[in-house]
Structure 1
Amino acid sequence: MSHLMCYPTTALKRRLSLLLLFALSASTTLAKPPANNITLIHEIQGSGTRSPMIYSNVTVEAIVVGDFQGRRALKGFFIQEEDTDVDNRSATSEGLFVYDPNGRTSVNVGDLVRVTGQVKEYYGLTELSKVSVTVLSRNNPLPAAVNIYLPLASRHALEQYEGMRVYLPQQLTVTENHNLGRYGEVWLSSAGRLMAPTHVALPGADAKAVRAANALNRILIDDGRFVQNHDPIIYPAPKLTASNSLRSGDTVTGVTGVLSYAYRHYRVEPTTTPNFVASNPRTRQPVDVGGRIKVAVFNVLNYFNGNGMGSGFPTSRGADTYKEFQRQRDKLISAITTMGADIIGLMELENDGYSNTSAIQDLVNGLNVAAPSGTSYAFIDPRLSKIGTDKIAVGLIYRVETVIAVGSATLLDSSVDGRYNDRKNRPTLAQTFEERATSGRLTVAVIHLKSKGSRCNRIGDPDIGDGQGNCNLTRTRAAQAIVDWLATDPTNSGDADFLIIGDLNAYAMEEPITVIKNGGYTDLIDYFLGASSSYSYVYNGEAGYLDYALASGNLLSQVTGITVWHINADEPRVLDYNMESKSANQLSNLYNAEPYRASDHDPLIVFIQI
């Protein structure tokens, strides 16, 4: 008779009952291999950035400290040696990621597991792959979390904690949320908002020192997911929406998780939901600091209206569809009407002229529909088919009830001054306005200089590595040309009140700004608010302002103040008008027609008593 057909004796039943009871307890113990077959995690990790045991087959026993199993999560889990098994070498990590995409054995935090697999380095993360997993017991105490403090001592200071439980005890500030929607990532800093190096330090050695310090004073918080564009976006809890934003400047304290590494960055994968605090709340309207005339500066992020009749999309920039364009338009109109400015300098308008179907006409049409009673707008037409050869152009719009456009607009381009390279810089547009109430005059020059994003090597203007980026000489020469041009009173205003506004693509300590200031102009943000803590733009987690209002000496005494309205730079880009890579729910709950994330630059408002 087969042994499978045997019935147990009473004594055997008693033994089986005891074994079953033991199996259901919190510390089930299975037969373990001899001690010399178990490899300790710190031996796998070693003291460098790569494992000394790469491609070796090993067996480990450790506690699960982070469970991220599942196809849409990280497809694995983190394990850490029990506190009794750690070594006395601070450079060796006691944690390890187990890559288990099939998840045949379900684990939970607190499980003691035996894992056999092959040691690999995956984009810098030491892990076990091709694994078999056995749960030995459950509900075990977790190894103690390691406190991590910013700033770090060195760029590799976190390697010793890779795969381990960590705790961030400091109050940390959100310094970038650019990839919150796509990757679920948030950068945090202990120093409050990190500033762009050349915004607070001179180009060269000083700026490099700031950049190095910034790099050591930030850490990445991830969402524990492998997929992109996840719905819901889990930060801030319960989820990101158009009315529940996570803004740069918000704070969080006491993040708990495990330390991972991917795509060139150490990152904390939280095991409890971070409690973000809205320390930098939105404002419903800009602060009014007095003055009869308000001049706004607004980069509208590629306002392209197709063929102007509801089709012609996609265009070379901006919205991909008419529906996206409507969403973009509604946000921008909401922002501009709320500002209530009398003169508005615009950057990144489609350079398609001034006809009834042009982008600037379309924007003015929308403003006049949405504006309150007694407010209507017009635009400055330089009587050209377009301004320059770029796809984008600057523009000026104004309230006809409060100011009059005096005389004709005039342009600064290469034909006026060879130093102003209009194949790189967008031509500058200047117009004199007269206040209806007082007949006081003001000449506004709206400019948009060459960006740092593409190179100028072919014209002998490379990035020289001092922090000012590509094309600094091109911007600097243009800045000098602007100062000299305005000194000639190009609009024949007969008045010494000049205001340079626009996106100069240079931070406060860079040479183009220095040239204009040396030409007798005052940076109004610096004068009234202080440059070192002011910003209108965030790039790579570093804040500063590229958008300026610079007043001539004669005008300065008539300026009562300036406001930077933080509706864009602090907001996650996923809250903008774009519709791609969003679920049906997100198309609704991540969007509203309010000003927030209407663009990527914050608008400025200058208050003047002419």
Structure 2
Amino acid sequence: MYGSSKALAGALAACGVLVVLPGSAAAAEIRIHDVQGAGRVSPLLGQEVAGVRGVVTAVRPEGNSPGFWFQDPNPDGDPRTSEGLFVYTPDEAPRVAVGDAVSVSGTVAEYYAVGDGEQPETTPNQSVTELAGATWQVTGTAPVPAAEPITPDSVPEAYAPDGELDALPLDPARFALDFYESREHMAIAVEDARVVGPADSYGALTVTSKPGQNAGERGTTTYTGYDQQNSGRLKVEPIGAPAPAANVGDQLAGRTEGPLDYSRFGGYLLAATALGEHRPVGVRPEVTRPPGEDELAVATYNVENLSATDEQGKFDRLAHGVTTNLAAPDVISLEEVQDDTGATDDGVVTADRTLGRFADAIEAAGGPHYEWRQIDPVDGADGGEPGGNIRVAFLFDPARVSFVDRPGGDAGTPVEAVESGERAALSASPGRIAPADDAWRASRKPLVGEFTFRGEQVFVVANHFTSKGGDQPLHGRVQPPVRGSEQQRIAQARLVRGFVADLVAIDPQAKVLVTGDLNDFGFSPAVSALTDGGLLSSPAASLPPTERYSYVYEGNAQALDHVLITPGVGEVDYDVVHINAEFADQASDHDPQLIRMR
């Protein structure tokens, strides 16, 4: 007999909580499908069960949750009840092998992977049913149950029923999350799967079992609406080895198989015991065209916590993206520029060294000698990485465009739209929009700058709205997910729109560009608060819905970064330049975008 004799030793893992209640099951034979039940939470939760039989299908020897999966080769015929189960062995790597026939005893538990500050009763994440404090006997060997093929037609299009999923019976023929739950811990397989989320730093990637679902030209699966969750997405995390450095659009040729698990980092995942052959398709970073002599090119780029303390390699890669892929825009709205000492929380708020190193790297890469404008925030007031004091900033090419400097802009003074003859102007340039308003609590304040290009006046509003970190996951147990951070972004959008309206009220032909990482989708209420009424419009609407993305999260390509324009801007040429989000090797996690205007 092997296994831990400690009932729940080590059950509180660093990344989650194991929930058990005292009790014991009846003496009748308990099968795996009895433990799993017809819902998400086991009907035997907290009870001791003995002699649960099955065949080992996979072993996880190390990590946060060592143990093994076993499966009953004789299913009960109920499509709601899984025939697979995980045995958690926190004290040691389990001494079993694939193909062992085992008889397992232990306590039925629900494991909730929780985030910082969460508890099992409050986490939005789903649980996985498992046996804890387990002992087992190897009774022989047996054929390993065949993995169930997951085809394009297997998983329902509809994602989840509305409500608290733990309280609902499963309907695997109707809802994707129910389908996956009904196969929890069972061996599944996908064939020739397309990668829709690049390999990450944790050695995992995301594939789709539905290759036609909201497919983009470069191999993406695009998130086009709150009711378009893309049910074919499935995270793949190989057991014992990292995933290959695959990019979006690549293929895992042949069969990828293993037990179906669940992680708060992406939802349901295939814990791969066998991985298809990585076949790159050769998707390359895009290169946009340079602006014409009479075109003003304005870009927005989230440079992901860029700090003067970063290695030169990061500056060089970002600089290459600016000079080559973006063709050296005239103006760049930057997001996530950190202070000169980065994440060191030492009271420093200046960022001239950070921006200076970036400008030097761009010039060394063959780009123009950019100048910059920004306003130092109050220490610790603008959110982001603690100590980093991230802010938005402008880079501009003084050989092509002029910045109109007006004094008075600082961290706490609001910029105003003022009259200047028959034209609008800024009371301070650069200046911040309503920095004391509660909408910007622990969030970056927008930066407004006034530029001139070939005698034309252009206003640029650089933004980085509050993050979606407080929103519940698409794959969570509460459906539809609560978007807890949304109201703050809506309030931020209304302030920005109000400021733009003030400029346009003075000059109806004012050329205003609202740029940046708005941390929300083109179909979201926050972006709608900017575009409602036609004061601002999105050139991205000229693209097919599946091509509107600048970020890839959990296999969903999505649009978080935006350029919006007032009617006075006129016709523009708009381009999202895909150089980061689709690739395992990234200089930033966002793609830049730009418009060219005459």
TM-score range (shorter-chain normalised) is: 0.5 to 0.7
- Match for 1:600: what amino acid? D
Aligned counterpart, 1:396: 394
SS state of the match for residue 117, structure 1?
strand
Aligned counterpart, 1:548: 562
Aligned counterpart, 2:580: 568
SS state of the match for residue 272, structure 1?
coil
Q: Which has the larger radius of gyration?
A: 1
**1:150 maps to 2:155:** yes
SS state of the match for residue 481, structure 1?
helix
User: 2:202, 2:274 → 1: CA distance?
Assistant: 21
1:126, distance to aligned residue in structure 2 (A): 2.6
1:175, distance to aligned residue in structure 2 (A): 4.1
1:563, distance to aligned residue in structure 2 (A): 1.8
- Match for 2:277: what amino acid? N
SS state of the match for residue 287, structure 1?
coil
Distance 1:274 1:440, change over 3 A: farther
Aligned counterpart, 1:590: none
Aligned counterpart, 2:386: none
| 1:298–1:344 contact (8 Å) kept in structure 2 | yes
Aligned counterpart, 1:295: 298
Could you tell me which runs of 5 or more consecutive residues in structure 1 were left unpaired when the two chains were aligned: 1-35, 202-206, 226-232, 241-245, 306-321, 456-463, 576-596
Alignment of 1:179-194 (within 5 A): 180-182=200-202, 184=204, 186=206, 188=208, 190=210, 191=213, 192=215, 193=220
User: 1:73, 1:481 → 2: CA distance?
Assistant: 49
1:499, distance to aligned residue in structure 2 (A): 3.2
SS state of the match for residue 91, structure 1?
coil
Distance 1:357 1:42, change over 3 A: closer
1:195, distance to aligned residue in structure 2 (A): 4.4
1:480, distance to aligned residue in structure 2 (A): 2.2
**TM-score for both structures, normalised by structure 2:** 0.67
Residues 295-349 of structure 1, C-alpha deviations (whole Å, 9 max, x = no match): 22112223332xxxxxxxxxxxxxxxx3x34343233222222222222222233
User: 2:547, 2:314 → 1: CA distance?
Assistant: 29
Alignment of 1:350-389 (within 5 A): 350=338, 357-371=352-366, 375-380=368-373
User: 1:444, 1:53 → 2: CA distance?
Assistant: 61
Distance 1:553 1:416, change over 3 A: closer
Distance 1:473 1:167, change over 3 A: closer
- Match for 1:71: what amino acid? E
Distance 1:357 1:251, change over 3 A: same
**1:601 maps to 2:590:** yes
| 1:94–1:164 contact (8 Å) kept in structure 2 | yes
Aligned counterpart, 1:223: 238
User: 2:538, 2:393 → 1: CA distance?
Assistant: 21
- Match for 1:445: what amino acid? V
Alignment of 1:18-417 (within 5 A): 40-48=31-39, 49-50=41-42, 52=44, 55-68=47-60, 70-72=61-63, 75-82=66-73, 85-100=74-89, 102=92, 105-107=95-97, 109-111=98-100, 113-123=101-111, 124-127=128-131, 129-134=133-138, 136-137=140-141, 140-148=142-150, 149-151=154-156, 153-154=174-175, 155-169=177-191, 171-175=193-197, 180-182=200-202, 184=204, 186=206, 188=208, 190=210, 191=213, 192=215, 193=220, 195-196=222-223, 200-201=224-225, 207=226, 209-210=227-228, 213-214=229-230, 216-224=231-239, 234-236=242-244, 240=245, 246-252=246-252, 254-261=255-262, 265-279=267-281, 281-283=283-285, 285-288=286-289, 291-292=292-293, 293=295, 294-305=297-308, 322=309, 324-338=310-324, 339=326, 340-350=328-338, 357-371=352-366, 375-380=368-373, 390=382, 391-405=389-403, 408=406, 414=414, 416=416
- Match for 2:569: what amino acid? L
SS state of the match for residue 568, structure 1?
coil
1:478, distance to aligned residue in structure 2 (A): 1.7
User: 1:364, 1:274 → 2: CA distance?
Assistant: 43
Distance 1:468 1:421, change over 3 A: same
**TM-score for both structures, normalised by structure 1:** 0.66
1:166, distance to aligned residue in structure 2 (A): 1.6
1:445, distance to aligned residue in structure 2 (A): 0.7
- Match for 2:304: what amino acid? L
User: 2:561, 2:209 → 1: CA distance?
Assistant: 24
Distance 1:406 1:482, change over 3 A: same
Distance 1:67 1:422, change over 3 A: same
Q: Tell me the C-alpha RMSD between the 2 structures.
A: 4.1
User: 2:291, 2:364 → 1: CA distance?
Assistant: 27
- Match for 1:41: what amino acid? I
SS state of the match for residue 477, structure 1?
helix
User: 1:408, 1:98 → 2: CA distance?
Assistant: 67
- Match for 1:181: what amino acid? S
Residues 523-560 of structure 1, C-alpha deviations (whole Å, 9 max, x = no match): 12223x24553111234554332322233334323x3x
- Match for 1:441: what amino acid? E
SS state of the match for residue 344, structure 1?
strand
User: 1:498, 1:396 → 2: CA distance?
Assistant: 15
SS state of the match for residue 258, structure 1?
strand
| 2:68–2:94 contact (8 Å) kept in structure 1 | no
**1:500 maps to 2:518:** no
Could you tell me which runs of 5 or more consecutive residues in structure 2 were left unpaired when the two chains were aligned: 1-26, 112-127, 157-171, 341-347, 383-388, 418-426, 471-480
- Match for 1:65: what amino acid? T
1:430 to 444, 449, 467: 449
Count of matched residue positions in the alignment of Structure 1 and Structure 2: 476
1:219, distance to aligned residue in structure 2 (A): 2.8
1:450, distance to aligned residue in structure 2 (A): 3.2
- Match for 2:57: what amino acid? V
SS state of the match for residue 79, structure 2?
coil
Residues 403-438 of structure 1, C-alpha deviations (whole Å, 9 max, x = no match): 34466589696352799432315143222232xxxx
| 1:522–1:556 contact (8 Å) kept in structure 2 | no
Q: Which has the higher helix share?
A: 1
User: 1:416, 1:404 → 2: CA distance?
Assistant: 20
Determine what percentage of the aligned residue pairs are the same residue: 22
1:258, distance to aligned residue in structure 2 (A): 1.7
1:222, distance to aligned residue in structure 2 (A): 2.4
User: 2:88, 2:525 → 1: CA distance?
Assistant: 50
Aligned counterpart, 1:479: 496
